[in-house]
Amino acid sequence: MMERGEILSWLRQDDPRELERLWGLADSLRQENLGDEVHLRGLVEVSSHCGRNCLYCGLRRNNDGLERYRMGEEEILACASRAAELGYFTVVLQSGEDRALDTGKVSRVIRRIRQELPSMAITLSLGERSTEELALWRESGADRYLLRFETSRRDLYRMIHPPSGDDSTSDRFRILHQLRALGYETGSGVMVGIPGQSYSDLADDILAFGSLDLDMIGSGPYLPHPDTPLGRLYRAARAGVAGQVPNSLEMACKVIALTRVVCPQANIPATTALAALDRESGYRLGLQRGANVVMPNLTPPRYRALYQIYPGKAGLSGEEEQHAAVAGMIAGIGRRVGASRGDSPNYLKRTATAHKQGREMKCLQPQA
C-alpha cells in the first residue's frame, strides 16, 4: 500500500521523466489485475431535473436558464436496446436528483431491462436517494450504483454541496456504506481541481478510495460552468491560489494512476470530463495511465445537449460515430473492447468472501 507521503509527492511531481514511472506502474497494475479489455458502458442521461443546488454543477436547481427534460420509460428502454446492439453489456442510468423519477418508475424500468435484455448489467447514478428506494431498486435487478463523494474534506464538501430541502445532512459516505450493505457494486470518485482543494485533500481522497474498498472509482477534472457560483468564482480567481490543485489533464491522470495503485482491482473509467478537457487524447491517456472503462454517451442527441453538467461535454456526435472512434482508439493502443459484463474483480472477490463466511457461519450453527 502506498503511504500518504508518497501519494503527496507524486501529486506534486511535475518532471515528465519521473511521471513516466508512475504511468508505467499504473499501466502494469491495470494489465495484471484487469487484463487488456476495455469495458464500454452505455450512458443514458435520463433526466436533467435536479432538486439540489451544488455550486459546481450546471443542472443545479437555481440555474433557471436551462431547459429541462425527463425521458419516458419507452425512450429509456430504446437506449438500453441500442446499447445491446452496439455490443455493450452495461447501461448506466444517470440523472439529477429528480423526485419525479420516482421509486416505482425507476423500478419498472429496471425490471423491464432485466427482462428484455437479460445479459445487460444495470448501473444507477441518480444521486442521494432513500435507503428504501435503493433497496427496492436492488431487488428489482440493479447491479451497481455510482455516487461520488466529490471531496473528502468536510468543510469544502459542505460548502459546494449544500443540503437540499428534505435532507439536512447529505452524507454520501453513509450512503456508500448502505449501497455496499445492499449488495450493490459500489462506485464513487472525486472532482480534481475544485477551487479550494489542496494536494493534501486530494491525497486524503485517494486514501479514502482504499479505505472504502470501492469497486468502481471515477474521477475527473472539475470543469467550470459559467452559470454556477463556483464557475464564477473560478473565473474571478484565475490568477491562481498558492497550493491549489490544477484541474488539468495531467493532474486528473495522476489521480487515475494513484487510484489504480491504491485499488488495483477496481474498475476505473477514463471519464467523460477527461475527454471534454482534451478531445484528442483524454480517453486514450486515461486508459494508458490506469483506467479500463469508457462510458460512451447514448442519450438521444436532443436531450444530450441539455444535460449540461459542465460545458463542452464530449460525445455530442452520433452513437455510431462515437462508437467507431472509441473502438478505433482502443485497438490503436493494443487493447480490445470487453466482451462480457466486466464486473469489478474487487466486487467479485469481496462478495465471494462474504458468501464463504456466510456458509461457514451456517456450518457452525447448532443442528436442530
Residues forming the site for ligand SAH (CB under 6 A): 56-57, 94, 96-97, 125, 127, 147-148, 150, 191, 220, 222-223, 225, 273, 309-310
Does residue 294 bind ligand SF4 (CB under 6 A)? no
Q: Which three cell numbers stand for residue 251?
A: 493532474
Q: Which does 223 bind (CB under 5 to 8 A by kind): ligand SAH, ligand SF4, none?
A: ligand SAH
User: For cell 429496471, what's the residue?
Assistant: 110
**187 lies in the binding site for ligand SF4 (CB under 6 A):** no
Rounded to a whole number of angstroms, the minimum distance from the CB of residue 21 to ligand SF4 is 35
Residue 273, binding choice from ligand SAH, ligand SF4, none, Cβ under 5 to 8 Å by partner class: ligand SAH
**Residues facing 185 on adjacent strands:** 144
Whole-number minimum distance, CB 189 to ligand SAH, in Å?
Answer: 7
Residue placing its CB nearer to ligand SF4 in the complex, 298 or 309: 309
70 grid coordinates: 425527463
191 binds, among ligand SAH, ligand SF4, none (CB under 5 to 8 A by kind): ligand SAH
Over the range 180-200, which residues count as b (16 or more CB within 10 Å of their CB) and which as e? Answer: bebebbbbbbbbbbbbbbbbe
101 touches, from ligand SF4, ligand SAH, none (C-beta below 5 to 8 Å by class): none
Contact present, 245 and 198 (Cβ < 8 Å): yes
Site string for ligand SF4, 16-35 (x = CB under 6 A): --------------------
**Residue 175 touches ligand SF4, criterion: CB under 6 A:** no
Question: How many positions of this chain bind ligand SF4 (CB under 6 A)?
Answer: 10
Interatomic CA distance for residues 258 and 35, integer angstroms: 18
- Residue 268 interacting partner from ligand SAH, ligand SF4, none (CB closer than 5 to 8 Å by kind): none
Looking at the Cβ atoms of 121 and 223, the one nearer to ligand SAH is 223
CA-wise closest residue to 154 among 181, 127, 174: 174
Return the one option of ligand SAH, ligand SF4, none that residue 60 interacts with (CB less than 5 to 8 A, by type): ligand SF4
Q: Which residues contact 333 (CB under 8 A, 6 or more apart)?
A: 284, 287, 288
Q: For ligand SAH, give the closer residue by CB, 263 or 276.
A: 276
For residues 40 and 337, is the Cβ–Cβ distance under 8 A? yes
The answer to whether 262 touches 210, Cβ cutoff 8 Å, is yes
Cell of 104: 416505482
Contact with ligand SF4 (CB under 6 A): which of 44, 57, 106, 277? 57
Binding-residue pattern over the window 111 to 140 for ligand SF4, x denoting contact by CB under 6 A:
----------------x-------------
The residue within the footprint of ligand SF4, chosen from 39, 60, 254, 323 (CB under 6 A), is 60
Q: Which of residues 204-263 bind ligand SF4 (CB under 6 A)?
A: none
Given the rule CB under 6 A, which of 48-56, 77-85, 134-142, 246-254 is the region that contacts ligand SF4?
48-56
Interaction between residue 50 and ligand SF4 (CB under 6 A) = yes
* Beta carbon of residue 164, minimum distance to ligand SF4 (angstroms, whole number): 8
Choose between 34 and 222: whose C-beta lies nearer to ligand SAH. Answer: 222
Q: Are 79 and 183 in contact (CB under 8 A)?
A: no
Read off the C-alpha cell for 76: 429509456
188, 176 Cβ separation under 8 angstroms: yes
Does residue 215 contact residue 146 with C-beta atoms inside 8 Å? no
CA atoms 84, 101, 171, 195: torsion sign = positive
Residues of the chain by 3-state class (helix, strand, coil), percent to 5: 45, 15, 40
Parallel, antiparallel, or unpaired for β 216-217 and 185-188?
parallel
Contacts of 344 (CB under 8 A, 6+ apart): 185, 215, 216, 265, 266, 267
Out of ligand SF4, ligand SAH, none, what residue 215 binds, judged by CB under 5 to 8 A for its kind, is: none
